[in-house]
Amino acid sequence: MSDIICQWLNIELRLSKVIEPYSFTRDFANGYLIGEILHRYELQDDFHLFSKQSMANAKLNNFTRIEPTLQLLGVPFDLAMAKAVMQGRQGAATHLLYQLYIQLQKKKRSGLTATAMEVMQPAATARLHRIENSIYTERLKTVVKRETDLKMQKIAKHFHKRGQDMYNRSVMADLLKEEDRLKRQDERRLRDIEKHRQARRKQHEIMIQIQSAIVQIPKPPHARTSRASEKQLQFRKNGRVTQPMTTGDKEQWNKEYIENIRQRLEEDSAAREQREMRRRRALMEQLQAHEEVLREEQMVSRLMRQTQQEKRITVQLMQIKQQKEVLRQNRIFQERQYQERRLRDFQEALDREAVLAQQERLERSEEIRMERELHKQLVAERAQARYRKHFDICRGILEQIVDLATKAGEYRLLTANLIPAKLMQEWMELFFSGKPLYEVASVDPTPADPTPEQIIELEKLQILNNQDYNQYVAMKGEWVWHEEDESQAPPVNDILDHVLSRLQSMIVPPSVSTPPPLFPRFTIRACLLGKSYSGKTTCLAKISNALGLYVLSANSLIQDALSAYQQEKQVASESQKDRSDNIFGLVCVWSLRAQRGAAVEQALRTGKAVPDQLLVDIIVDTIRNIPADSGWILDGFPVDINQAQMLEKALKGTEPDQAETKTHSNSATDKNTPKDPPPPSPALDLVVLLDISDEQVLERAAHQADVDTQDPASLSDEKSLGRKQIQHRISGFHDTWPKLEKWFGDQQNILVKVTANVDEDTLFSNVKIVLMDTMDSVEKGRFAYPYYLTLACSAKSKAATPKSAGRRYVEEPLPKEIPVYLVPYWENVCNSYVTNVKTVMQNLRSERELIIHHLYNIRENFRQYLQKPDLKQEFVSAWQHDYNSVPDNIREDEETKGELHQRLDDLRERLWDICDKRKEEVEQERAGVIDDSWLDDHTAVLINHYSALMQIEVGRFQDSSCLLRDYYTAMCKTAFPESTRGFTRVPLIDITADVEFPLVSCRSPTSELLRQVLHHPDEKLLQEFFQTALSAVRSMVLCVVLGAPTPPQEPSPQPVVEKNPEEVRRKAERKRIKQEFTAALKREEHAVKLRLELIKAHALRTVSSLQQKAEQAYGNMEEWLGTRFLSEMNSIDQLTELVRQHIENGVQIHHELVLQSADFCVDGDTLVVVSPSPAPRRSLLEQPKNSTLTVQQLHILCAQLHKTAPTVLHELTSPHMGSDVLPDPWMHITPSQMLDWHQFLLSAALPWPFPSQTQLLKTLQRYRAVDTAGTGLITQEQYAQIELWFPSERDLPVPDDPTEPLPYDRLANLKKFFFSLFASTHSSPLMLDYQSMLLYFCCHPEPAQGFTRALSLVIRHTLHYKHAGPLTQVHTECDADEEVESEEAGVSVDDVLEVLSHGDDQVSSRLNPVFHVLLCVQELLKVFKELGFKDEEKIPFSTLSQHPFLQDLMEGSSQYLLPVSVTNKYVISHILQQRSVVRSFSGKQN
């Protein structure tokens, strides 16, 4: 590994210093070479700041600068690694270089620059690296000591040494010196002993070498040894005998000992030299003997050479053969070794590749896991950002809602729950604008350098001023015209508008709109959008093959443009020589695509992205080259809303929001402006979104990475870069798509979403279906599109010139100085008009706020004044003390009681006097408030503001008239007369003096003013100001109109034969100019009069409202005063009553009596009140039972049927309408299929008491008695006074608990329901036809019996009809007890017809001819004639009822039939069960 790194550093990078494997630790300790390596790969831009020195500051600087770059590459480099490299630990630098080598090789393969790597790095990771870098820098400073620290350490060591030396030179110096000497002496002795041992060891080694020699030389005799032994023995003996030696003796003995040793060594060296000489001599002798033997052998070999030549040749040949065999065997063995080595290397390579592949898979899985974690983190961050955004929005809205609620609550308190509508509109305008309702800073006066809070307040004022100005100009809101008979719109002077537009066009000519771009006709124009890896390109490739559509990819188009530019550039460079030889200097013309490519290359060379406009131009140029009757689809374009709008503009030729802006501006100014044409169709026909989840995108990206790993040939830099940027692309899509979805989906309605979480074939089929449907719809609408386009163009032309169609204006030439002067003049007039109107509106709002607060303040101050304490309690306390001081034994005495009552009366009189005096004081306070001039002064201020507004309108009229006069004077070349009056001033009220009078004198009231009824002096002043302004306007108009110049006439015209045509034309033009000028002035006069009327009306309403509010406040004061006075009187009466009870009982008053304000309390906290009246019992609602409808439900049904049923059928069957009006099924309907809803509701109201004939007749008599006029109608009050045949008011049990409701009385409520059912809703008050109602109650389960009961009610006589039916038998048994008339009543034809005409007989007669009225009359006349009676005579019912015709008529009368399906449950049983109740009630009435 070290050799590979050295080869990489020395050969490939060629560093400034040659690196050896053993010098890694030393060379890379300062970090300079690491920075040089990064600089060679263009990753370290600040390499010039690195230092080669090995000092601490250089190391700190170098390692601080390389740390961010290593982190960017992904090399694990931390403080521990830096410390290890700087300290030169074994293997640290090698490990770091190996990691750096791997990462740099990856970076080289990817082709990324440092800038690209920084851009691709996520923001969170970059922020984390910055934090870690700062921590690493601070900790590195603590690890690496600075030079100053090292110098300080050396200085400290030096001073420590000097201090140690000074200490050694102190008192203990001698002792230490002696100890040091002894220590050195011992060390020297030990060294001598060690040297002696080494010498003996070397001597022993030499002896061993000598003994191992070839020649053994005898050793000399051991004479010296014996002598030495003797000396040593003698020394030992002398040593045991002698005394201890002194220091001098020791030194002498040491010297002698050393001399003996030296002498012995010299003797040994001499002996050694002699032995060496003897060994050399022996060796020389052996060498000479050996040489002699060799010479003898050579001599013998020379003699034997010739005889052995052949033998040697044979031996040599055998040796050569053996050598060849050995060489062959060696080659075979070598080849076998080479083969084994190759197999071993191949297996090692396979194992290494497997390990690398496994490592790559592990790294890829780790990258996928990290990408998913990063994706989850980004999703969480986006969700948190959306939540925070929505939370802030909702919080702001809620805060504004709370402010609005609190503001409304405050002003409800200020205005007594009557908030002005204008004030609420202002709050809502601020609310919708997102401005605070409460004041955050003061802007009075307007600051020159406002703070942010003051800026907000100024924006609020601007919003409210604009709102008031817009309402005033448009005559909306509170400035709407309030006349009932007419509705006024804002006046528009088209002549003045034409004059201004002409003057403006003379200064600034109107811009000519460019025509829309022209494109061939396409079958479809679409784009396919989606996230990365959603399958756009794959799907579009299949779509292009299947449908023949052109697929336009932005990247492909950019590559084509660059290729075209490079090709044309190469062609131009090749033909450069020809151009230089050409004397005419031909110029190279670049194609449009090459020009786009040059612009793209220029943008890319600067490191920037391709501009959106350039990209749109490239796409549009490509679309122009697509052949007609074909389609195209964009691949992944547009990416954001800016590109979408640019593409829309490039394909349609208009701004996307241009039409909306024009529509909004026109609608705000002129109501009569024609409507704008519908918005044009979008540039695209279809936008398809391939909808796919982020998780699916990540899975597809991981799968594609695995495929590219298996097939490295298909891997490209673009794909690799795209996979690395997948997270950023997903985030970018989420950021840009909401606006695109709103643009294509909500505004253009061309967006279609297709699910992309499917396989390729399913996705292709789904997209293909969508595209084919769109192509069919485009093909169907192709022929209608040009017609629509022409309509839109014509509509636009009409809308552009709405006024030119109705009038032809005079447009004579004007001098150049006229528009130059008049246009700025009119702009100043308009600006001053807007500013002045807004100022007046702001002043009116300020006055409104002041008046509201003033009225609230006077009310609250008056309330506080009413709560002012008085002296009543002191008198009460003193009187109670005197009363309790009376002895108990005399309290029962009558005289004492009389005296106490007299004292009590005196106390009451005194308290009354205090109350009266207090009432007078409060009345004086109220009178002072009323007489205060504050309200009058501010009313005058309001009038002055409205007068100023009138002044603004008059001034604008004067300015507009001056502009018109100058304009037409310049065309006519004759001056129009100016107004004799100067600048008109509308009077103002002087609020500084005590008496109100106008600052500017005004004329006397006109006759119109005298004829008007004005109830207040302020109204008179307003009317007078209005008349002044109106008179000024009239005078100016009359002066101009009546004094308009006429063409100058010559004094004595001579008769001429022919008139000059030019003169005639000039006179006609002058006449037209005069007419147009007069019409313009009339319109301006009408507009200003309307405005003045509006201002006057608004001022009168404001002043009247102010007076009403003031009167209401004063009335509330008076009411509070009266209520307070009555409360005080009641409290005095309560106190008097309580005290009288104690006096009569003869007991003391142990409780303290307190009169608090208007309340009477006992012991200070117990309030004495009047016993409240019991609360009314709550009414009980009827509960439904079985299938019976409640009375409330009946009322609801009745109300609904009153709205729908009464008139529809009557109008359809009216006589004046033909029979062909009704449908055929209605014309053939039978009476049995018709239903009278009155009868239906009467049946649904069961059970109710079934009346008999007698009860019905008696009820009819009671109604006739009340109906004194004999109209047959009674009111609801009269109906309530009369009892029916059943008791409507019964004595129901009352619950003991007062909280429980009273029992529900169904009969009483049914009686009320009957009135609402049968009363006529067309009269006011409601009237009831009582006979018609009673006829409905004649219904019976048997129609003949019902007809008989109705006939008896009509003739007011009881009739009986015998029939064999079961129900009739039951009814007959029930009516057996009824009173039978002695005389039988007669029946006439009219009586029978009256019975028949009741209910729905008119409808039935219309639908069924059998019951037609005329037919009935004829048949009845025949019956009377058959029975022997005349037409006008009455026939007994017993006789008439036996006739078959009458029996059929009675049996078929369905209007008197009570349906058995309803009544079989109630009627029959009810007739039997309620008989006793009816009898008892009838007896009571009799």
Pairwise CA distance, residues 723 & 705, whole Å: 8
CB 977 within 8 A of CB 1039: yes
Residue type, 606: T
Q: Which residues contact 833 (CB under 8 A, 6 or more apart)?
A: 952, 955, 956
Q: State both tokens at 171.
A: 């008192």
Residue type, 911: L
More confident residue, 1217 or 598: 598
DSSP SS3 for 670: coil
Does the structure show a pLDDT above 80 at 401?
yes
Cα angle 838-841-844, degrees, rounded to a multiple of 5: 155
Residue 1459 confidence (pLDDT): 64
1247 preceded by a cis bond (ω within 30 of 0):
yes
Residue 688 confidence (pLDDT): 92
pLDDT band for 527, please (50, 70, 90 cuts): very high
The percentage of the chain sitting over the pLDDT mark of 70, rounded to a whole number, equals: 77
Cα separations in angstroms, 1144 against 888, 891, 893, 902, 980: 13, 9, 10, 13, 94
If one counts every other C-beta atom within 10 angstroms of the C-beta of residue 549, the result is: 21
The H-or-E segment that residue 852 falls in is helix 817-866
Does the structure show a pLDDT above 60 at 659?
no
Pairwise CA distance, residues 1481 & 1205, whole Å: 36
Write down the H helix ranges in 144-246.
147-168, 173-211, 223-241
Strand order in the sheet with 1166-1167: 1153-1156, 1159-1162, 1166-1167
638 preceded by a cis bond (ω within 30 of 0):
yes
Long-range CB pairs of 471-477 (<8 Å, 24+ gap) are: 472/837, 472/841, 474/668, 475/1094, 477/422, 477/425
Does the structure show a pLDDT above 90 at 834?
yes
CB 1138 within 8 A of CB 861: no
Residue 1157 confidence (pLDDT): 75
pTM to 2 decimal places: 0.54
Pairwise CA distance, residues 722 & 1092, whole Å: 72
Q: What is the biggest distance separating any 2 CA atoms in the chain, rounded to whole angstroms?
A: 211
CB 1339 within 8 A of CB 1214: no
Mean pLDDT of 1060-1079: 80
**Helix/strand/coil (H/E/C) assignment for every residue in 107-164:** HHHHCCCHHHHHHHCCHHHHHHHHHHHHHHHHHHHHHCCCHHHHHHHHHHHHHHHHHH
pLDDT band for 526, please (50, 70, 90 cuts): very high
Pairwise CA distance, residues 18 & 9, whole Å: 8
Pairwise CA distance, residues 438 & 1363, whole Å: 88
Q: Which residues contact 1299 (CB under 8 A, 6 or more apart)?
A: 1177
Query: pLDDT tens digits for 1445-1482?
Result: 888 888 877 778 876 544 444 444 444 344 444 444 34
Query: pLDDT tens digits for 1244-1270?
Result: 888 888 888 888 888 888 888 888 888
Residue the block writes with tokens 């009368």:
1453
Pairwise CA distance, residues 1359 & 447, whole Å: 101
Cα separations in angstroms, 514 against 511, 517, 654, 1333: 9, 9, 9, 82
Query: pLDDT tens digits for 1151-1178?
Result: 888 887 778 888 766 777 666 666 666 6
Backbone angles phi, psi at 989, to 5 degrees: -95, 130
Pairwise CA distance, residues 1458 & 1450, whole Å: 14
CB 289 within 8 A of CB 224: no
Our separate counts of H helices and E strands in the chain read: 52, 13
Mean pLDDT of 524-551: 88
Q: Which residues contact 1076 (CB under 8 A, 6 or more apart)?
A: 495, 809, 810, 968
| DSSP secondary structure string for all residues of 1380-1430 | PPSSPPEE-HHHHHHHHTSTTHHHHHHH-GGG-HHHHHHHHHHHHHHTT--
Letter string b/e over residues 1258-1278, b meaning 16 or more CB atoms within 10 A of that residue's CB:
bbbeebeeebeeeeebbbeee
Query: pLDDT tens digits for 1015-1048?
Result: 456 778 878 888 888 788 887 777 766 554 444 4
Pairwise CA distance, residues 1355 & 825, whole Å: 95
Residue 983 confidence (pLDDT): 60
Pairwise CA distance, residues 886 & 890, whole Å: 8
The H-or-E segment that residue 630 falls in is strand 630-635
| DSSP secondary structure string for all residues of 12-46 | II--SS---GGGHHHHTSSSHHHHHHHHHTT--TT
Query: pLDDT tens digits for 1218-1232?
Result: 444 444 544 444 544
